[in-house]
Structure 1
């Protein structure tokens, strides 16, 4: 096993009192040792995703982090390879690498063979079933680790591993074409603001839906043709339809997690429109759907998409390398990771929160 400058312990943000009253503390934890097929990555940056909040709140219908003895969530890490397992030949020490929400896959089933490996039954989640990117040194299976291209810094690459890849996947699966109207409830958030950029780069006409002047300014800067402020507009869906030629959106990408965002999305679409479900509300708090009469009358489709695949992640990173995708990040030093988590939980973040392990 090749090794380079690996300490015995490393700093990590860990969840304390998992559940509704959780908080995060930074403490030293043991550095893991790579197995034969693993790489060890020293992270320079990690994005903080609202899925992490869900895991720490334990408000999704899945087993808790503690079930797997995991204390550090996180799945948007970027850094360098510092140790290789004995069987690893496709990486070398010093290579730049990133980790994504899916930890691995079986690569021996139809889903894996068709590029849908994140739905594989043997695709566990990092930061839930394995220690995640809130921990500075993390393991990753060599075959499922993503390469970071030149021209993409770690503070961009980290968030793209989840948010950028996830919304790229949803845009791809929507089938929208250049010139189509793409609407993003939650456009000023971590996933939404990258969706705005990618949709714009793909030639779509983009409408942002969110609340507040800070998010309006961000969305318009990133390429929205129009912005609807739900704090000021009485009937958001009606205003979206008006903007979209009076017919409605070809696709509504719900990156927000509120019940109201999901309830209004079908009303924003035109005939044969699509509602793309991306944001994860707490279990039992929202419904993605509408009266069947609306489905019939509009030939409406509602589609859920999960995190992006290996290829989706590579494609999203390519957009970044070409200068067409740039996560807008508020960077916190490691010691302020607990404050960063609280700020995201409060819903007061425009763009993405990223933690700098070296600050």
Structure 2
């Protein structure tokens, strides 16, 4: 585990000089052979209702790879002319638009996977604003957090408590809020058994900690001894190594959960096998929550309809969390109950960090680029 980091850029309220250009990770080509390079780009100017943030940290998330690969059934990054991916950043306010109220220079702030929503529709009112038809996806529809300076609408920017450092706050904007939202929507109870596939990964390891903070009992599924060690340290009661050829994953989960199965299976891995095995690990009335995104057309989530009818199981999907889920995650971190695992890279090493993530060389840890 990494020790507590220091910010890559000063957040002193007196140090607010703003350059005309800044470094950014930019995509030069999209698709299977995408290329990410670090360039100098113009520092954006905030509009009347915007904040200009100087980012100290950005997460490197697998969704960024999907955006650059353009392998999901959704609008493509290149369709919007977006240059820089990234959707989980933390930094400091260095400039404000003329209409902004309630913020000041030097305030710490976070950028989430949704840059903006309408806040005036049924989904927004029902705490499902990430599904808003007018939502603007950060790093997909507009430039994201792979750059040192970024404009963010003041009304949808998250405030970061002083007790939560930037390298902790960054991943809470996405992986943390995603898992908090999923666990809330599953409507499980303290003491319930849950399974997290990909428990040692960037999203999964956050889920282990949040679920434990909610009083749930966690079975982690992942591959290798490094993942086993990490998952058990974070609070899993049991770990199942899918990479062990002698292990029957489903049998091991059932054995751990008193032969009944889990109340919920949270699939953070995007592999076909993770989705195929999920229904078999549920008890009667259990729920599958789809989180991991495999390439389009590669995987089907579900089972024979008789399984759903006779065992009263259900399946649903959940995207990233909104403002409330992010705030609750920050509060958990403030209390010391959630702490992401990461490695630090300089902004010049962004291409290296992205390539390591793409090759699966993450050894149970979420990797972060230091700006």
Residue 258 (structure 1) aligns with: 271
Residue 83 (structure 1) aligns with: 95
Q: Which secondary structure does the structure 2 equivalent of 1:271 belong to?
A: strand
Q: Is residue 360 of structure 2 the alignment partner of residue 344 of structure 1?
A: no
Residue 306 (structure 1) aligns with: 319
Q: Which secondary structure does the structure 1 equivalent of 2:136 belong to?
A: coil
Q: Which runs of 5+ in 2 are unaligned?
A: 1-14
Residue 28 (structure 2) aligns with: 16
Q: Which runs of 5+ in 1 are unaligned?
A: none
Q: Which secondary structure does the structure 2 equivalent of 1:265 belong to?
A: helix
Q: Is residue 199 of structure 2 the alignment partner of residue 187 of structure 1?
A: yes
Report the alpha carbon displacement of residue 346 of structure 1 after superposing the two structures with TM: 1.4
The alignment covers a number of residue pairs equal to 355
Residue 101 (structure 1) aligns with: 113
**2:241–2:247 contact (8 Å) kept in structure 1:** no
- Structure 1 residues 180-204: Cα deviation after superposition (integer angstroms, max 9, x where no partner): 0011000000000000001111111
Report the alpha carbon displacement of residue 23 of structure 1 after superposing the two structures with TM: 2.0
Within a 5 Å distance, the mapping from 1:179-328 to structure 2 comes to: 179-232=191-244, 233-328=246-341
**2:88–2:173 contact (8 Å) kept in structure 1:** yes
- Normalization by structure 1: what TM-score? 0.97
- How far apart are the structure 1 equivalents of 2:231 and 2:247? 20
- How far apart are the structure 2 equivalents of 1:348 and 1:265? 25
RMSD: 1.0
Counterpart of 1:332 (choices 345, 351, 356) is 345
- Normalization by structure 2: what TM-score? 0.94
- How far apart are the structure 2 equivalents of 1:207 and 1:154? 29
- How far apart are the structure 2 equivalents of 1:259 and 1:139? 38
- How far apart are the structure 1 equivalents of 2:19 and 2:198? 40
Counterpart of 2:368 (choices 349, 354, 357) is 354
Report the alpha carbon displacement of residue 4 of structure 1 after superposing the two structures with TM: 3.3
Which 4+ runs in 1 deviate beyond 2 A?
A: none
- How far apart are the structure 2 equivalents of 1:156 and 1:297? 43
Residue 50 (structure 2) aligns with: 38
- How far apart are the structure 1 equivalents of 2:276 and 2:83? 34
